Structure formats: structure tokens, C-alpha cells
């Protein structure tokens, strides 16, 4: 295959006005075309169409790729994933299709590729680009996609982001969150993985960004040190090698952790008297950890961490010296005006002449936000009989009190609140079934707080239980489950200390009894989440084998491999796993209704109803057909309104008479400052398909901002 020729085609961005902040450009589209078809529905049906583009690419310092993708009928698909094969592994991300145009131009940035499978060797060694187009639930017949015009997207910039190449998704995730806010701020930059960094990559650069780099591969740290010695500036976050911190004039003095519950997480960046030019007085970010650091000599603390009530904790959050800026936790991301302004103030401190460029970008963001919020307010009024539900993943709400937050929700038209008060191994209320989280003694019984606020404002609430997941549970409870052999086991035989075995009778009883207890307390609703197995790799414990052998009435040779190599056994294994989850849902419905007939039973489910039974033993359509749910919330988390509508349309056919409130994943989208507009369009799509309403995921900072915008129009 011909190597991609390097020449300039077009500028992608227009807001930059300096060489340091020059725009990315598309280079050298290839003339080759790739096409693939698949058959959806019927005996030989598949759940996704896979197109492999076998074309060598060197993306080591490029920003990403772009291509034209076309299909005769996009309604056949619900999701698009993209994979980059490198060495013995893959980098994995996604992209969106919007609208009904048969051919669409797609740009995939490296920063948005935050998943890894296997052992990828780096971006300089990409041999295959794989497009995986997932089937819409009821799509039948031939499906087809074609790709052409494959090209590089490059950024000629004096800012280089060096991302950790460790086999840890969080490293890529936090590199991506920093990169996206830089983009929103108008800071165009190149990026490279640390193990692919070369000394020449830093020549001519003004700033190196280290978003989450606890250590460097051999020889790479010295390149950063040489860069600093030569006058280069560094913006670094959280865990940074001591030599690099020292080189920019910063000394680590301690460590903060709220993991034990002894201290509440920080809530944001509070400007000090030494604050930077253009730095907002407060920028929200919930952080449960931080490296405590101070200037070693010349420099100043420009922001302290705010405590739970937004007061000054006295602990440094951002430190600035003449050689760089240190942010003492990872950057959680965001494109809101305050976060963009903070990012701009950091870079402006290193390059004071950028104020004109940044002002224009802030004006663009403010205009976009006004337009987006106006579009949301235009659709915000909830019609009679329509339900607007909101998930909230924090037991004590997004604000200083549940009373304040529920008041905002009520003004926005919210009808149902789904607060996460219950996990597999603890509860945020007084329970006789589950361990009680230590926050209850410090902050109160979250159930009673939610109950009172919802009673006051006339909102129905449903206690959200994360089933089978032991995140945050007390160590002694986990150890008890381990001693009783109640923890899940992977396909490879290793134990999982964060998940329970869902065929174990005692675990099934805990799931059911925890929700029965809530019904007895008078809860208006209970909501099952993670009502499934973690994945195909669980659970393969000895007891699962015994129970499965009883299920099929015989012994199995070659366990557990046999359930993947013998098609008859594989089908029975899926039936067995689904039966365990089905039993939980049936028994929850029966026992909850026996305690409290008015208590609604609902569930959050995967959006891929066709493949979920095989993948995670979740049979959403079956539960709807049996009438054992009062409403259902498929997690249709996509920024594509087209794909969202495709999923809702198909799911409604399968849900039958069970009311459906599709989940709108605002918090899962890439934060481009356009949340309100996308939220508005997906609300309209849910209405157009005649869903019973919708559910917002979730009431974090971004979701709360959208709800506040809705409330403005009331």
C-alpha cells in the first residue's frame, strides 16, 4: 500500500491567531475505498458489522484521522466503535453519526481513544483501523458501510501533551480530559505517548503538558528535564516524578485522601490573592485525592482547594512558578466558561501575549452556551402524563443540600428522582440487610433527607441500587463474603473482590431483601442497576459449575472452556446465567409488591437488547413481556441524536406495554460545551418516538447545569 503523502488540504479550526495556537489540518486522503456488508436477523444474524481497514498508519505525533463513511440506511445501526490495531493489542474509542445523510465526514482524534485491549505497542505502529457498527435491536436484512478518503489530522503547534502509555485506561482518560478542555480554550496542541517520545518532538515547543504521568519509561524523563533546562515550560497534574517537580521549582509536602471517609472530597479550585490573570474566583471539581505541594523558592499558590461547603481548605490546588504550573489532582475536564477561563489563565501565565486569542474563544463559548440553553428551554416544559426522571450517583446530592437540589429539579419539571443510595455492599441509610456507610453518622440518613425534600416539592423518588457491585463496601464485609465463597470468579479462575457471584443463593437473597426492606420503609420506588453479570467472563466459581451441572443434568469435561467451545453448552450456559438474573427481577417484583403495592419497580438496562442476554445475562425484553417492571430505562448513551432515536424506536417495540424512559447520557458525552443543545434534541427525539418520558444521566455538575438551564425558562 502507498504511504500517505504529506500535504495540506484544509484547516479544521479558525479561532487561533498565533503560531503557538495554529490549527489542526487534514493531510493526504488516500484514494482507496473499503466496503463491508452483514446480515442482521435470521439464522446467520450477527450483532455488529465489522469493517477492517488494513492500511499502515504512523500516528505517533499526529492528532488523529478523518474519513468519509457511508451507508444506504443508518437506521440499521445503534452505535459505532473504532479500533486501532497496534502490535499485539488495540486502542478503542467511538464516533457518532448525526442526521440521515448517506455519506458523512468523520474525524477521530487520538485523545478520544481511551480504551485499550491486549498489549498495543503505540500509535506509531498502527496496522489496522477497525469500524464496528452495532445492530439496532430490531434491524433485519442486509447492512452495509463503506469508508474512503482516509487521511491524517495533524497539529503544528508549540504545545505538546505527553500522555502516559501505561496499560491503564485512566491514564488515557485523564490525558483526554485535559486535551479536550485545551481545545475548548483555543489551545491547539500535538500529543505523543511517553514511550514513543523522541528528543526531537520537544524541539521548538514552548510548553509540555503532563496530565497524569507518575513515571516515565527509561530515558524519557531526561528528555523532559532537558526541555525544562532549555527554557521550556511545563503544566503538570497530580503524580509527577520528583525530579521534574523539582526542575520547575515545586516541592511535594504531603498527600490528601478522602477515600477513608475521614474527610470529605474537595469541591473545586478557590482563587487566592495571588491568582492568575483571568482566573475565576471558583471553579468546581470534586476531587477525593491531591498531592500537597508548594513553591520551592520563587512562585505562588494561585488556588487552594475548596472544602465541602466551598470554604477555603488551606490546601494548595494550583501552584505557579517561573518554569511551570502544577495542578495537585488530575484535571476532571469540562468546557464550561469557568473551566475554559481557568485553563486559559494557566497558559496565559506562561505566554502573556495570548489574551486577545483567548478572549475571542471565550466569546464564542458564551454565545454557544446561550444558543444551546435557549434550545433546551424551548423544549423544557413537561407535558401532562410525561415523565422526566433524573439519576443522581451521589447519595447526598449535587448541591449543599437535597432540599436545594430537589427545588431546582421541581422548577425544571422533573417528575422522578433516582438517587443512588444503595450498593452491593453498603447503604446510605439505616439498614438491617446491608452495612451502613459511615457517611450516615456524619451527614445523616440519605433516604430520610431525599424523602423529605421530594415530599416538599412533589417529586416521586426511586431508590437506586447498584446490584452485586461491592464498590465502597467495608473491608470486613468483603472479607466475610470471601470466606463464604460468595465473590465472583473470572473465566481464568481469578477471584474478583469487587463483585459477588449471582448464582449464590445468599447473594440472590441479599439483592432481593435489600429492596424488600426499602419497600417496607415506604419507598415510592426501587430501581435496579447492574442487574446483570459484569461481563462474559463472570462468574466461573466452583459453585457455579456445580449449579450449572445440576441445571443441565450432567457433568462437564473441560470446564470452563467447554461452555465456549461446545455450542450446545454455550446456549445452556447463557440460559443458566439469564435464569439467575431473571429470578432476582421476578422475586424483587413479587416481594416488593407484597410489602408495598404502590412501590414501583424499575431497572436501568443496556441499550443493546439483542446481545445483552449473551454478554451479561440481561433479558430486558423478557422482563417487559412478563410484566415484572413498572417502567424501564435503557441506557441509550450516545451523542448522536440519530442513533439515540434508532435505539428508542427499536426498544419501544420490545418493551410493549411497559412504559419506557430512555436514558440520555449527557454525562457520558465528550464535553464540548454543547450539552444543553444535545439534551434538547434527544428529549425531542424521545417525544417523537412516543416514549413515556426520558431519564437524565446524571445529576453531576454537567447534568445539574442542564437542569438549571431548564429551570430558567419556568
CATH number at residue 79: 2.60.120.260
- Is residue 357 within 8 Å of residue 18, measured between CB atoms? yes
Query: Which one of 132, 155, 178 terminates a domain?
Result: 155
Alpha-carbon Rg of the chain, whole angstroms? Answer: 26
Of 321, 257, 263, 330, the closest CA to residue 289 belongs to 257
As a whole number of angstroms, the distance between CA 203 and CA 232 comes to 9
Which is nearest to 72 in space by CA: 42, 46, 106, 38? 38
Same domain, 510 and 638: yes
Question: What is the distance between the alpha carbons of residues 66 and 433, in angstroms, rounded to a whole number?
Answer: 53
Domain co-membership, 647 together with 693: yes
Residue 22 has pLDDT above 60, yes or no: no
Same domain for 235 and 106, yes or no, is no
Alpha helical stretches, state H, 258-394: 337-350, 355-379
pLDDT tens per residue, range 388-411: 999 999 999 987 789 999 999 999
Cα separation of 104 and 545, whole Å? 49
- State the pLDDT at residue 15: 29
pLDDT in tens, 23-70: 566 776 788 999 999 999 877 778 899 999 999 999 999 999 999 999
Same domain, 140 and 167: no
47 or 105, which is more confident? 105
pLDDT digits (tens, 9 = 90+) for 199-224: 999 999 999 999 999 999 999 999 99
Residue 10: pLDDT band (50, 70, 90) is very low
- 663, burial (CB in 10 Å: exposed 0-12, middle 13-18, buried 19+): buried
In a domain, 25, yes or no: yes
Grid-cell match 435464569, residue found: 579
Let me know whether 23 and 141 are in one domain: yes
What is the domain extent for residue 310?
A: 159-353
Which of 697, 520, 674 lies closest to 607, judged by CA? 697
Identify the band that residue 613 occupies on the pLDDT scale cut at 50, 70 and 90.
Answer: very high
Residue 19, pLDDT > 80, answer no
Instruction: For residue 499, give the nearest of 473, 521, 463 by alpha carbon.
Output: 473
Among the listed ranges 352-366, 463-477, 615-629, which one has the minimum average pLDDT value? 352-366
Average of per-residue pLDDT across 254-261: 80
In a domain, 558, yes or no: no
pLDDT of residue 672: 78
State the pLDDT confidence band at 708, using cuts at 50, 70 and 90.
very high
Could you tell me if residue 555 is inside a domain?
no
* pLDDT above 80: residue 566: yes
- With CA atoms as reference, report the closest residue to 91 among 67, 61, 59: 59
Same domain (yes/no): 398, 459: yes
User: No. of H helices and E strands in the chain?
Assistant: 18, 32
Do the domain assignments include residue 24?
yes
**Considering the chain, what is the average pLDDT of its residues?**
92
Q: Do 227 and 309 sit in the same domain of this protein?
A: yes
Same domain, 143 and 163: no
What does the pLDDT read at residue 7?
26
| pLDDT value of position 437 | 95
Same domain (yes/no): 443, 586: yes
pLDDT of residue 427: 98
Residue owning grid cell 485553563: 343
Mean pLDDT of 326-336: 94
Confidence at residue 30, expressed as pLDDT on a 0 to 100 scale? 82
Please write the tens of the pLDDT for every residue from 657-691. 999 999 999 999 888 788 999 999 999 999 999 99
Q: Bridge-partner residues for 427, per DSSP?
A: 422, 436
- C-alpha grid cell for residue 548? 450449572
Q: Which residues pair with 130 in a beta bridge?
A: 52, 83
Across the range 268-296, mean pLDDT stands at 95
Q: Is residue 546 part of a domain?
A: no
Average pLDDT over residues 505-517: 97
Residues 135 and 243 in one domain: no
Residue 567 lies in a domain: no
Query: So what's the pLDDT on residue 565?
Result: 95
Q: Is residue 155 very low, low, confident or very high in pLDDT (cuts 50, 70, 90)?
A: confident
Q: State pLDDT tens for residues 445-481.
A: 999 999 999 999 999 999 999 999 999 999 999 999 9
To 5 degrees, how large is the angle CA 585–CA 550–CA 478?
Answer: 55
Look at residue 23 in the predicted model and tell me its pLDDT: 53
User: In this predicted structure, what is the pLDDT of residue 355?
Assistant: 67
- Per-residue pLDDT averaged across 89-112, rounded? 93
Asked if residue 247 and residue 122 are part of one domain, the reply reads no
First to last CA, the chain: 60
| C-alpha to C-alpha distances, 21 to 8, 108, 358, 546, 670, nearest whole angstrom | 17, 20, 10, 63, 22
Q: Which three cell numbers stand for residue 319?
A: 501552584
Q: What is the pLDDT of residue 421?
A: 98
| pLDDT exceeds cutoff 50 at 6 | no
* Residue 367 within any structural domain of the chain: no
Domain-located, residue 560: no
Q: How confident is the model at residue 369 (pLDDT cuts 50, 70, 90)?
A: confident
Cell 444543553 belongs to residue = 676
Q: What angle, rounded to 10 degrees, do the helices at 169-185 and 355-379 form?
A: 100
In contact, 164 and 194? CB cutoff 8 Å: yes
Statement to judge: residues 50 and 139 lie in one domain: yes
- Domain end: 120, 155, 190, which one? 155
Share of the chain above pLDDT 90, in %: 82
Check residue 4 and give its pLDDT: 33
Q: Of 331, 353, 375, which closes a domain?
A: 353
What integer is the mean pLDDT of 153-176?
Answer: 89
Count the domains in the chain: 3
- Segment 411-438 shows an average pLDDT of 97
pLDDT(11) > 50:
no
Neighbour order of strands in the sheet with 115-119: 48-57, 126-135, 77-86, 88-95, 115-119
Amino acid at each position: 500500500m502507498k504511504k500517505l503523502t504529506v500535504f495540506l488540504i484544509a484547516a479544521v479550526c479558525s479561532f487561533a491567531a498565533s503560531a503557538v495556537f495554529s490549527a489542526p489540518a487534514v493531510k493526504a486522503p488516500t484514494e482507496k475505498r473499503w466496503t463491508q456488508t452483514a446480515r442482521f436477523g435470521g439464522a446467520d444474524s450477527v450483532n455488529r458489522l465489522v469493517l477492517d481497514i488494513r492500511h499502515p498508519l504512523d500516528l505517533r505525533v499526529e492528532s488523529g484521522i478523518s474519513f468519509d463513511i457511508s451507508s444506504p440506511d443508518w437506521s440499521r445501526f445503534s452505535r459505532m466503535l473504532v479500533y486501532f490495531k497496534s502490535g499485539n493489542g488495540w486502542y478503542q474509542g467511538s464516533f457518532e453519526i448525526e442526521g440521515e445523510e448517506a455519506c458523512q465526514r468523520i474525524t477521530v482524534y487520538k485523545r478520544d481513544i481511551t480504551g485499550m485491549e491486549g498489549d498495543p505497542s503505540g500509535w506509531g505502529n498502527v496496522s489496522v483501523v477497525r469500524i464496528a457498527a452495532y445492530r439496532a435491536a430490531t434491524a433485519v436484512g442486509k447492512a452495509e458501510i463503506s469508508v474512503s478518503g482516509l487521511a491524517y489530522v495533524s497539529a503544528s503547534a508549540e504545545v505538546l501533551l505527553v500522555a502516559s502509555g501505561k496499560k491503564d485506561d485512566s491514564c488515557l482518560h485523564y490525558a483526554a480530559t485535559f486535551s479536550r478542555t485545551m481545545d475548548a480554550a483555543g489551545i491547539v496542541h500535538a500529543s505523543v505517548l511517553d514511550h514513543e517520545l523522541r528528543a526531537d518532538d520537544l524541539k521548538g515547543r514552548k510548553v509540555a503538558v503532563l496530565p497524569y504521568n507518575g513515571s516515565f519509561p527509561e530515558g524519557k524523563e531526561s528528555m523532559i528535564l532537558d526541555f525544562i533546562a532549555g527554557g521550556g515550560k511545563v503544566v503538570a497534574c497530580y503524580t509527577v516524578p520528583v525530579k521534574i517537580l523539582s526542575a520547575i521549582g515545586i516541592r511535594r509536602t504531603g498527600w490528601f485522601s478522602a477515600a477513608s471517609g475521614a474527610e470529605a472530597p474537595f469541591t473545586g479550585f478557590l482563587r487566592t490573592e495571588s491568582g492568575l490573570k483571568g482566573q475565576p474566583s471558583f471553579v468546581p471539581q470534586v476531587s477525593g485525592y491531591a498531592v500537597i505541594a508548594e513553591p520551592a523558592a520563587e512562585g505562588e499558590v494561585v488556588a487552594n482547594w475548596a472544602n465541602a461547603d466551598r470554604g477555603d481548605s488551606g490546601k494548595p490546588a494550583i501552584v505557579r512558578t517561573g518554569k511551570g504550573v502544577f495542578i495537585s489532582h488530575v484535571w476532571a475536564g469540562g468546557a464550561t466558561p469557568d473551566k475554559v477561563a481557568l485553563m486559559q489563565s494557566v497558559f496565559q501565565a506562561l505566554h502573556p501575549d495570548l489574551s486577545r486569542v483567548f478572549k475571542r474563544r471565550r466569546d464564542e463559548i458564551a454565545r454557544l452556551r446561550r444558543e444551546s440553553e435557549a434550545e433546551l428551554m424551548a423544549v423544557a416544559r413537561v407535558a401532562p402524563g410525561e415523565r422526566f426522571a433524573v439519576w443522581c450517583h451521589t447519595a447526598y446530592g449535587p448541591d449543599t443540600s437535597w432540599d436545594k437540589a430537589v427545588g431546582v429539579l421541581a422548577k425544571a419539571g422533573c417528575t422522578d428522582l433516582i438517587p443512588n443510595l444503595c450498593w452491593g455492599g453498603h447503604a446510605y441509610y439505616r439498614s438491617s440487610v446491608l452495612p451502613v456507610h459511615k457517611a450516615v453518622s456524619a451527614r445523616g440518613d440519605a433516604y430520610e433527607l431525599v424523602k423529605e425534600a421530594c415530599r416538599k416539592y412533589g417529586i416521586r423518588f426511586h431508590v437506586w441500587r447498584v446490584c452485586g457491585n461491592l464498590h465502597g463496601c467495608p473491608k470486613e464485609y468483603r472479607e466475610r463474603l470471601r470466606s463464604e465463597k460468595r465473590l465472583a470468579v473470572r473465566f481464568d479462575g481469578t477471584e474478583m473482590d469487587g463483585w459477588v457471584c449471582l448464582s449464590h443463593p445468599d447473594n440472590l437473597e441479599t439483592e432481593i431483601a435489600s429492596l424488600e426492606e426499602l419497600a417496607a420503609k415506604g419507598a415510592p420506588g426501587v430501581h435496579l442497576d447492574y442487574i446483570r453479570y459484569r461481563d462474559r467472563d463472570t462468574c466461573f466459581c466452583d459453585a457455579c459449575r456445580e449449579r450449572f451441572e445440576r441445571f443441565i443434568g450432567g457433568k462437564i469435561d473441560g470446564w470452563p472452556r467447554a461452555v465456549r467451545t461446545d455450542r450446545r453448552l454455550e446456549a445452556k450456559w447463557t440460559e443458566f446465567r439469564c435464569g439467575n438474573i431473571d429470578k432476582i427481577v421476578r422475586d424483587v417484583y413479587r416481594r416488593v409488591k407484597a410489602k408495598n403495592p404502590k412501590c414501583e419497580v424499575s431497572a436501568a438496562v443496556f441499550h443493546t437488547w439483542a446481545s445483552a442476554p449473551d454478554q451479561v445475562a440481561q433479558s430486558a425484553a423478557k422482563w417487559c413481556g412478563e410484566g415484572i417492571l413498572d417502567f424501564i430505562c435503557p441506557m441509550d448513551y450516545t451523542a448522536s441524536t440519530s442513533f439515540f432515536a434508532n435505539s428508542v424506536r427499536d426498544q419501544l417495540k420490545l418493551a410493549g406495554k411497559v412504559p419506557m424512559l430512555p436514558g440520555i447520557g449527557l454525562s457520558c458525552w465528550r464535553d464540548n460545551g454543547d450539552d444543553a443543545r444535545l439534551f434538547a434534541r434527544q428529549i425531542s427525539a424521545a417525544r417523537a418516538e412516543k416514549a413515556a418520558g426520558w431519564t437524565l444521566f446524571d445529576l453531576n455538575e454537567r447534568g445539574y447545569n442542564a437542569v438549571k438551564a431548564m429551570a430558567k425558562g419556568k
